[in-house]
Structure 1
Amino acid sequence: MKFDIIGKPIFAGTEGMENSANRKSVIVINSLALVVGAMVIGVGGYFYLLTSSLLVLIPVIIETLSFLSVIVLNSRKRFVEANLVMLVAHCIFAVYWSIVLDAAISTELLLAFLFLIIFHLSGSFIVYKEKKTIIVCLTMVILLTISVHLNRVYHAITPLSISPSVQSTMRGITSIAFLVLIALIMSTYLGKIQVLLLSERQLKEVSERKSAFLRETFHELRTPLNAIFGNAQFLQQRKQNYELPERQEVENLYAASYIARNIVNNVLDMSRIDSGKFYVLIKEPFNLKETIALCVAMNSYLAASRGIIINIEYADELPLAINSDKLLLTKIFNNVLSNAVKFAPDNSLVLFKCYAIEEQIIFEISNEGTINPEVAGKIFDAFVTTRSQLSEGTGLGLAITRHLVELFGGKIALKPNDNDQTIVYFNIPLETATDAVNTHHAFQYRKNCFYGATAVVIEDDLPSSTLLKKVLEEMGIQPILCKDAQESIAVISENKPTVIISDLNMPGLNGRELLGIVNNHKELKGIPVLIVSGDAFSTVREELLEAGAAAFITKPVHFKELYQELSRQLPLRYAAV
C-alpha cells in the first residue's frame, strides 16, 4: 500500500514506454517533483509558523500545486509541458523567495541549485527535441538572475521584515534543503555515469569478441579461398588455350574470386578501425609511378574481362620516387580502382591521373557513369553502396579509404563534373624521396624468372602447398615441401635454401617460433623468411615484420604480390627482370 502511494506518482506516465532513456527521464522528473514538493510543504510550513505572513503561505501552496501538476501532466503523456512547468516553477519561485526572504536565503546556493536543475531539465528537452524551448528558458533564467542581483542592490521590492535570529535559522534550513536537492540531482548523474562506464566496458568486450570471431572466421575462409583464387589465376594465365565460352567462364571465376578476396580484406580492415586499432603511417622511399602501374596491372584482369581499359596519366613535374607509406597508399589505390572498375559500364575507360599542386599530390580516378545523388553525399560512409553488374558489395571499401587518406592528412571526395563521369579525387603531402629506391620494372612474372633458386615451403594445408609448389616451379624456383615447422628445421639446415616460405599458424612449431629459430641460427639467419597466412590483422603483420620476417603475404595469395616480394628478397643473379 505504501509503495502504491509513492510508486504510482513516481512511475506516472511510464506505462507502455519502450525507450529506456525516456522512461528514466520521466521517473527522475516525477521523483524530483515529489521530493521538492514535500520539502516546500515542510520548510515553507515552518517558515509560515516563524513569520505568520501570507506572503509565505500562499506561494508555498502555489509552488506545491505546481510540482504536483508536473506529475499529473506526465501521467497524461504531456512530457514536454511537465518539464516546462517544472522549470518555470523553479525559476519563478527561486526569484520570489530570494527577494522576499532576502538575507534569510543563501543566494549562492539558490543560484547553484537553479542552474543545476536547469541543466538537468535542458537534457530532457534535448531528448524531446525542443531546442527552442531550451534557448527561451536559458534566456529567462539569465534575466531573472540579473533581476535578483539588481533588487539586492536597489531594493525595488521590499523584503519581509524578519528578525536576525529568525533569518539565521531560515538561512540554515534553506542551505541544508538546497544541499540535499543538489546531492539528489548529482546522484542521478553519478548513476548515469556508472551505467555509461558499464556500457562502455560491455561494448568493448563485445567489440573484442566480434574482432576475434571475424579473425577466426575469415582465417578459416581464406584457406579454401586461397585454393579457389590460386587456381583461378592459373586458368586466367592460360585462357588463350580455351575456346571462347570457356574463356568467359574463366574470367568470371577470376573476377568473382578476386572480389571475394577484396570483401574479406575490407571487412577485416573495417573491424580494425571500429575497434579503435588504427593504422600508423610508416614512411619509406619508393617509386610512386611504379606502384601505381602495379595497382593498375593487378586490377586490369577484372577490367579486361568486361572490356574496360585502365589508363594512367602521370604528370611530368612529379618525382618518380616519394617518401610515404607504400602499403597504405597501395590499399587506397586498389580500393578506389576496384570501385571504379566495378561500377564502370562494359567497354569503357577508367583513367588514373596523378599530378602536383603546390606541396600536395593529387590523385584522380574516373570512370564513366554517374552516382545517384542521394548516394553520392554519403558514398564514403560505411555500408553505403549501389548495385553493380558483378556484385552489390559491402560498401566498406571507400569508407576504409577515407580513413586511410585522412591518416595522411589528406581529403577524399567526389569531384563535380558535367561529363557523365564519376571522379574520385584525393590528396596526400608531397615529400620527395632523398634515399635510393630499388625499382622492379616487371609486374608479371615470366617462366623461370628466378631460375636456380630454391625454397623450403612450410604449409600444412595440401591445396595451399600444391599451389605454392606450382607457381614457384613456374618461376624457376625448386620448392621443397614440409608439412610442419618442426620437420623443416632439419630440411632448412641441410639444404640452405635461397628463401623460406612458411604458413603462420601450424600445429607444433608455428611460423613465429620458426622465424625466431632461423634468425638466431648462425648459418641460417641470412635466409629471408616470407610468412604466408590467412591471419590478415595488421597488428600480426607488424609484429612479424618487427620480429625479422622479410615479408608478410596474406591469403588468398596474389601471384603478382608473391613475385614482387620474391624479387625484393632473392639475390639479383636469380631475378631475370
Structure 2
Amino acid sequence: MHLQLNPTSDTDNMRSVAKGNPTLANRLKTLFRWLVKAGTAPLKDEEAVARVVMVNKLSLAFGGVILIIAPVMLWFLNGMPSIFIAISAEFVINCGVIYLNHRRRYKAASLVLYFLQCMAIVYFGFLLGKLLQLQFTIVFLLSIIYLIFKEDLLRRIAFISALVVLALLEASYYFHDTEPVIPISTNTAYVIHLLVVLAVLYIIVVVSKPYVRSNDINAELKRANDFKRVFVYQVIHEMRTPLNAIFGVAQLLKKEIRLNEELKTVEPLTDQLLAASNNARNIINDVMDMAQIESGQTEQISENVFRLKPFFAHAIEMNKVVARSRNMQLRLSIEHMPEIITGDSLKLIQVTTNLLANAIKYGEKNTVVLLKITGHKKTWSISVINEGPGITPEKLAVIFDPFITDKRKYTEGTGLGLYIVKNKVEAMGGTVGVESPPGKPTVFTATLPLQQGREEDIPAEEKQPEVSNLNNIDVFIAEDNELNALLLSRLLKQIGCNVSIAHNGLELLQLVEKDMPDVIILDYHMDVMDGEETLRYLKKDPQLKEIPVIVATGDAFLDSREALEAAGADAFIEKPIDHRRLLQLLQKHLHRNNGELQE
C-alpha cells in the first residue's frame, strides 16, 4: 500500500531505509508543510500568503526552541514551578498561533505571536536577571515587525511595545542589580544564556532567509526585466521597418485611388490594409507605453493650447478607416465646451484613439459610435458610446487592468489599451470609468480638469492657413532601407518635391556639400554614419545648421530621443510614417525656416 501511495525507485528506497523509516519521514514532511501553509488556501494575494507563512514558520521555530531549551532550563533550575508553568503556557499559546491562522484569524495570530514573545522576554528577564542579557532580543522583535504586520498602525504599536519591553528589562536590571529574583549560579546562567543566544540566532536565520532569497530573486528579476525591456524595444524597432513599408504602400494606394477612378474596385482592400496597419501600429504603441510604465518612468505632462473641434474631428478622421471596415459610423458631439482649451494634446489623442478603437472593436456591426465631449463647471469629459453585447459585472471590475481582453473572431489586440488610458488620464489629474447596463449602450468616460485657453496662446504656426503647395521643395532623404526610401520618395515627388536619396549619413553629407536642401528627413539607425553623428556634423556647420532636420525613427528608447534632441533634431516622426503628419511637419518647419530667412 505504501509503495502505491509513495512510489520510489529502488535506489530511493535504499536511501530511505538507510535513513530510517521512510513513511515516518514523509509523514513528518507532509505535516510540516501543512503547518507552514495553514490558513493560506483561501488567500489570493502573494504578499498576504507570505506573511501567514512567516507567522507559521516563526511559531514552529519558537515551539522547537522551547522543546529544546525547556528541559535544559528545568534540569539546571531543579524544575522550579514558576519556570515550568511559564514555559508550558508559552508553548501552548504558541501552538495556538497556527490554529488561529488555520481559522483565518490572521491578524489575531500575528498579534498573539508578537506579544507572546514580548511577555516571555520581560518575564524571564525579570526572573533570571541581567546574567541572561536579554536586551539583544529586542533586535529580533524589531526585525519581525515588517514581516508579520502589514497595517501601519499595528507596526507602530509593535515598535512602541518593543521599546517598552526594553525599558522594563532595564528597570528590572536596575532594581535587581545584585541578584536576580531566582538565584542561579554563574555557570547555570552562562549555559542558559548560551542556549538563548543560539535560539535567537536560529530564529534570526529563519527570519532573514526570506530577505536573502527575496534579494536574490529581485536581482534576477531586475536582470530579466532589463533583458526583456531591451528585447521588446529592439523587436519593436525591427517591426516598425516592415510595418512602415506596409503602411506607406497602403497610403500611396489610397492616394492613387483618389486620382484614378478605375482603381475604385480595390478601395475596400486598401481600406482593410490601412485598418490592419493602423491596428498594428496601435498595438506597438500600447506595448511601448506598457514597457515604459513597467520600467517606472513617470508620465511627463506637456500643456499646449489648441482648438477643440478640429482636434477631435481629426481623432474621428484617424479612426474612420477602421470603423468603415466593420460598417460602423463615427459621430462627434460637443456640448458646453469653450472653443479653445489647454491640455496635453498627445495624451488626449492617445486616450481618445484607444477608447474609439475599443468601441469599434467590441461594438456591433452597422451601428454608430458616438464621441461626446461635454463641459461642466471645472471639469470636462470625453465619452465614447457604442452599442454591443455589453460587459459582464465580473469583467467590469477588472476592465482597466492590463491584459484584459475579450477574444472574438474579429478582435485582436494585447488587452493594454484601457490600462494605458487609465494611466494617462490619471497622469493628467483625471479619472476614467465605464457603465454597461444590460440592454443599453456601453459608455467609457474620462473626466479631466477643464482649463480654457486663449486665442493669443495658440502657436503661430497653427493660426496660419495650411500650406498645400510644396512644389520645387528640395528634400534630402537619408534612409538605409531601400523600400522605405523609395516609398517616401514617391510620396514627396507626388506633391511636387525634388527628392535626393542617401543610404547613410556620410552619403547625405556628400550630397549637402554639392547642393543645400530645404529640409532633410533623416533615419536614425544607419551603417557607416548614423543619424546622431550626422546631426552633430550638420548643426556644427554655420552654413548647414539652419536646415530643418526631421528624424524618422522606430527607436523606442527614450535615451535615444534625448540624444537626438541634444544633437539638434528639429522634429521627430515615428515609423510607420503617417503621410499626413509628415506633410504637416514639412509645412511647419519649411515656413519657420523661410520666415527666419526673410527676417
Q: 1:525 offset after TM fit, Å?
A: 0.8
Q: 1:445 offset after TM fit, Å?
A: 9.3
User: In structure 2, which of residues 168, 173, 183 is the aligned counterpart of residue 166 of structure 1?
Assistant: 183
**In structure 1, what is the Cα distance between the partners aligned to 2:123 and 2:280?**
74
Taking the TM superposition and a 5 Å limit, the aligned residue runs for 1:98-247 are 103-104=127-128, 166=183, 181-239=199-257, 241=261, 246-247=266-267
- 1:310 and 1:350 in contact (8 A); partners too: yes
Match of 1:35 in 2: 65
Match of 1:374 in 2: 394
Match of 1:343 in 2: 362
Q: Please give the per-residue CA displacement for 1:178-226, whole angstroms capped at 9, x wherever unaligned.
A: 5654444334333322222222221111111011111111211111111
User: In structure 2, which of residues 454, 460, 466 is the aligned counterpart of residue 438 of structure 1?
Assistant: 460
SS in 1 for 2:573: strand
Taking the TM superposition and a 5 Å limit, the aligned residue runs for 1:496-515 are 496-515=516-535
Q: 1:456 offset after TM fit, Å?
A: 0.2
Q: 1:309 offset after TM fit, Å?
A: 2.4
Q: 1:294 offset after TM fit, Å?
A: 2.0
SS in 2 for 1:570: helix
Q: Please give the per-residue CA displacement for 1:430-461, whole angstroms capped at 9, x wherever unaligned.
A: 33356342355999996xx3122111001110
SS in 1 for 2:576: coil
Q: 1:474 offset after TM fit, Å?
A: 2.0
User: In structure 1, which of residues 258, 280, 296 is the aligned counterpart of residue 278 of structure 2?
Assistant: 258
- 1:268 and 1:537 in contact (8 A); partners too: no
Could you tell me which amino acid in structure 2 is paired with residue 223 of structure 1?
T
Q: 1:541 offset after TM fit, Å?
A: 3.0
Q: Please give the per-residue CA displacement for 1:271-327, whole angstroms capped at 9, x wherever unaligned.
A: 1211212331233333443332222211122223333222222345414242x3222
User: In structure 1, which of residues 339, 346, 362 is the aligned counterpart of residue 381 of structure 2?
Assistant: 362
Match of 1:159 in 2: none
Match of 1:313 in 2: 333
Match of 1:289 in 2: 309
- 1:469 and 1:479 in contact (8 A); partners too: yes
Given the alignment of the two structures, is residue 403 of structure 1 paired with residue 420 of structure 2, yes or no? no
Given the alignment of the two structures, is residue 562 of structure 1 paired with residue 554 of structure 2, yes or no? no
- 1:34 and 1:68 in contact (8 A); partners too: no
- 2:90 and 2:116 in contact (8 A); partners too: no
Could you tell me which amino acid in structure 1 is paired with residue 471 of structure 2?
Y
Match of 1:156 in 2: none
**In structure 1, what is the Cα distance between the partners aligned to 2:125 and 2:72?**
16
SS in 1 for 2:477: strand
Q: 1:466 offset after TM fit, Å?
A: 0.9
Q: Please give the per-residue CA displacement for 1:140-194, whole angstroms capped at 9, x wherever unaligned.
A: xx9xx99xx9xx99xxxxxxxx986816968887777656544443343333222
**In structure 1, what is the Cα distance between the partners aligned to 2:575 and 2:581?**
11
Could you tell me which amino acid in structure 2 is paired with residue 482 of structure 1?
A
Could you tell me which amino acid in structure 1 is paired with residue 391 of structure 2?
I
- 1:230 and 1:557 in contact (8 A); partners too: yes
**In structure 1, what is the Cα distance between the partners aligned to 2:124 and 2:447?**
67
**In structure 2, what is the Cα distance between the partners aligned to 1:505 and 1:414?**
42
247-256 or 257-266, which deviates more: 247-256
RMSD (Å) for aligned C-alpha atoms = 4.9
Q: 1:314 to 1:112 in 2, by over 3 A?
A: farther
SS in 2 for 1:481: strand
Q: 1:554 offset after TM fit, Å?
A: 1.2
**In structure 1, what is the Cα distance between the partners aligned to 2:525 and 2:550?**
13
Report the TM-score, using the length of structure 1 for normalisation.
Answer: 0.78
Match of 1:326 in 2: 345
Which ranges of structure 2 fall in alignment gaps of 5 or more residues?
1-16, 38-45, 173-178
Which ranges of structure 1 fall in alignment gaps of 5 or more residues?
154-161
- 1:366 and 1:424 in contact (8 A); partners too: yes
- 2:328 and 2:365 in contact (8 A); partners too: yes
Given the alignment of the two structures, is residue 450 of structure 1 paired with residue 470 of structure 2, yes or no? yes
Q: 1:243 to 1:524 in 2, by over 3 A?
A: closer
Q: 1:119 offset after TM fit, Å?
A: 9.2
Q: 1:463 offset after TM fit, Å?
A: 1.0
Could you tell me which amino acid in structure 2 is paired with residue 13 of structure 1?
L
242-251 or 400-409, which deviates more: 242-251
User: In structure 2, which of residues 352, 371, 376 is the aligned counterpart of residue 352 of structure 1?
Assistant: 371
**In structure 2, what is the Cα distance between the partners aligned to 1:163 and 1:451?**
102
Q: 1:34 to 1:423 in 2, by over 3 A?
A: same
Given the alignment of the two structures, is residue 249 of structure 1 paired with residue 269 of structure 2, yes or no? yes
Q: 1:279 to 1:475 in 2, by over 3 A?
A: farther
User: In structure 2, which of residues 288, 295, 305 is the aligned counterpart of residue 268 of structure 1?
Assistant: 288
Q: 1:390 to 1:445 in 2, by over 3 A?
A: farther
Q: 1:537 to 1:66 in 2, by over 3 A?
A: same
**In structure 2, what is the Cα distance between the partners aligned to 1:478 and 1:276?**
45
Q: 1:122 to 1:11 in 2, by over 3 A?
A: farther
Q: 1:427 to 1:39 in 2, by over 3 A?
A: same
**In structure 1, what is the Cα distance between the partners aligned to 2:448 and 2:566?**
26
**In structure 1, what is the Cα distance between the partners aligned to 2:588 and 2:118?**
78
Q: 1:10 offset after TM fit, Å?
A: 9.1
Q: 1:27 to 1:4 in 2, by over 3 A?
A: farther
Given the alignment of the two structures, is residue 301 of structure 1 paired with residue 327 of structure 2, yes or no? no
SS in 2 for 1:237: helix
Q: 1:293 to 1:57 in 2, by over 3 A?
A: closer
SS in 1 for 2:591: coil
- 2:110 and 2:148 in contact (8 A); partners too: no
- 1:410 and 1:426 in contact (8 A); partners too: yes
**In structure 2, what is the Cα distance between the partners aligned to 1:282 and 1:85?**
50
Could you tell me which amino acid in structure 2 is paired with residue 338 of structure 1?
A
Q: 1:12 offset after TM fit, Å?
A: 6.6
- 2:250 and 2:273 in contact (8 A); partners too: yes
Match of 2:6 in 1: none
- 1:289 and 1:321 in contact (8 A); partners too: no
- 2:467 and 2:587 in contact (8 A); partners too: no
Could you tell me which amino acid in structure 2 is paired with residue 334 of structure 1?
T
Match of 2:573 in 1: 553
SS in 1 for 2:459: coil
Match of 2:501 in 1: 481
SS in 1 for 2:350: helix
Match of 2:10 in 1: none
Could you tell me which amino acid in structure 1 is paired with residue 66 of structure 2?
V
Report the TM-score, using the length of structure 2 for normalisation.
Answer: 0.75
Q: 1:328 to 1:289 in 2, by over 3 A?
A: same
Q: 1:117 to 1:42 in 2, by over 3 A?
A: farther
Match of 1:524 in 2: 544
Q: 1:355 offset after TM fit, Å?
A: 3.1
Could you tell me which amino acid in structure 2 is paired with residue 300 of structure 1?
K
Q: 1:35 to 1:358 in 2, by over 3 A?
A: same
SS in 1 for 2:404: coil
- 1:14 and 1:23 in contact (8 A); partners too: no
**In structure 1, what is the Cα distance between the partners aligned to 2:185 and 2:300?**
64
Could you tell me which amino acid in structure 1 is paired with residue 503 of structure 2?
K
Q: 1:489 to 1:367 in 2, by over 3 A?
A: same
**In structure 2, what is the Cα distance between the partners aligned to 1:93 and 1:312?**
67
Q: 1:219 to 1:412 in 2, by over 3 A?
A: same
Could you tell me which amino acid in structure 2 is paired with residue 185 of structure 1?
I
